[in-house]
Chain A
């Protein structure tokens, strides 16, 4: 099974030196989202200090496989408008 490392970054990078064996990249994608969600659950107001939190997944050779980022902003995401609800 391939080995993946899950580094976290919010201005303060915590390297994952242990990593874990997962069947494939799909499983690594799933794990990255789980980890991000789990950490954000407890961040609360502190999340706004850096307003961004990333999980970066690298493989055994140190190459980035995927990354997932949550961002906070006072503005809506680009291009977003509130749609009228209606029939």
Chain B
């Protein structure tokens, strides 16, 4: 079992940004200053509603959330999963109206960053602004990879890619325990994220298990054979931009 001590408000965010470029002490202070006190969101509740006009962006401190769009028949497509350290709607600062919603997939702790304070931050900290800009660019890169997977990968390759992505993103912020990570997502959530039926997802999980690629004991996933899993997924982590290079 992984025991994760209660994270401070910005630990995971700073950890993630630091992988991409150095974050100066005054920039860390600026991030702290921009955030309101943490608040809890219950599993299943919307963190940001579709079509709303948020006046703040939200940082995910702990838990999992998902960006989604709803269809008229009640179906839902998840377009990105968020892990701790993600600014889940940083783009609402400029987009103003939400074109999608963000729902808590587990109990979450979040902190709001009022848009007025974020605007102030961008005026005083151009380098930090570029780092946050990069974070929204990576969101778009994740969407592109999901689009490729949705349109062109096999079902097994698609699920394998999602597992590789989550393991890589969680490991980047130290939320892995060796080759094991915590992913408390139901088959319904996976099915909405992959755009596949729950029955199919069920079969694909069984296939990953049978091939000896993962030990999947919800909510834990242990990667047993990373090279083969990454090969099936054709996983290339370039899009997550986890190398350090000045921005």
Residues of A within 8 A of B (CB): 6, 8, 14, 16, 18, 20, 31, 34-35, 38-39, 41-42, 55
Q: Which residues of A contact B43 (CB under 8 A)?
A: none
Q: How far is the CA of A14 from the CA of B197 in the complex (A)?
A: 14
Known: A14-B206, A18-B187. A35 touches B199 (CB 8 A): yes
Q: Which residues of B contact A18 (CB under 8 A)?
A: 187, 198, 202
- Output the least CB separation between A38 and chain B (Å): 5
Q: How many pairs of residues, A versus B, come closer than 8 Å at their CB atoms? A: 32
Task: Count B-side interface residues using an 8 Å CB cutoff.
Answer: 12
Residues of B within 8 A of A (CB): 154-156, 187, 196-200, 202-203, 206
Q: Which residues of A contact B203 (CB under 8 A)?
A: 8, 14, 39
Q: How far is the CA of A79 from the CA of B46 in the complex (A)?
A: 56
Q: Which residues of B contact A35 (CB under 8 A)?
A: 197, 199-200
Partner of A55 from B155, B196, B199 at Cβ < 8 Å: B199
Contact A42 B155 (CB under 8 A): yes
Contact B197 A34 (CB under 8 A): yes
Known: A14-B206, A18-B187. A6 touches B155 (CB 8 A): no
Q: How far is the CA of A24 from the CA of B226 in the complex (A)?
A: 43
Q: How far is the CA of A16 from the CA of B198 in the complex (A)?
A: 9
- Output the least CB separation between A63 and chain B (Å): 18
Question: Other CB < 8 Å A-B pairs besides A14-B202, A39-B200, A42-B154, 7 of them?
Answer: A16-B198, A18-B187, A18-B198, A20-B198, A38-B197, A41-B155, A42-B155
Among B187, B197, B199: residue with most chain A CB under 10 A: B199
Q: How far is the CA of A16 from the CA of B23 in the complex (A)?
A: 48
Q: Which residues of B contact A38 (CB under 8 A)?
A: 155, 196-197, 200
Q: How far is the CA of A14 from the CA of B202 in the complex (A)?
A: 8
- Output the least CB separation between B171 and chain A (Å): 28
- Output the least CB separation between A43 and chain B (Å): 9
Q: How far is the CA of A8 from the CA of B155 in the complex (A)?
A: 15
Q: Which residues of A contact B196 (CB under 8 A)?
A: 38
Q: Which residues of A contact B200 (CB under 8 A)?
A: 35, 38-39
- Output the least CB separation between B212 and chain A (Å): 16
Contact A39 B155 (CB under 8 A): yes
Q: Which residue of B lies closest to A55 (CB)?
A: B199
In order of increasing CB-CB distance, the 9 nearest A-B pairs are A6-B199, A42-B155, A42-B154, A35-B199, A14-B203, A35-B197, A14-B206, A38-B200, A39-B200
Q: Which residues of A contact B156 (CB under 8 A)?
A: 42
Q: How far is the CA of A18 from the CA of B202 in the complex (A)?
A: 9
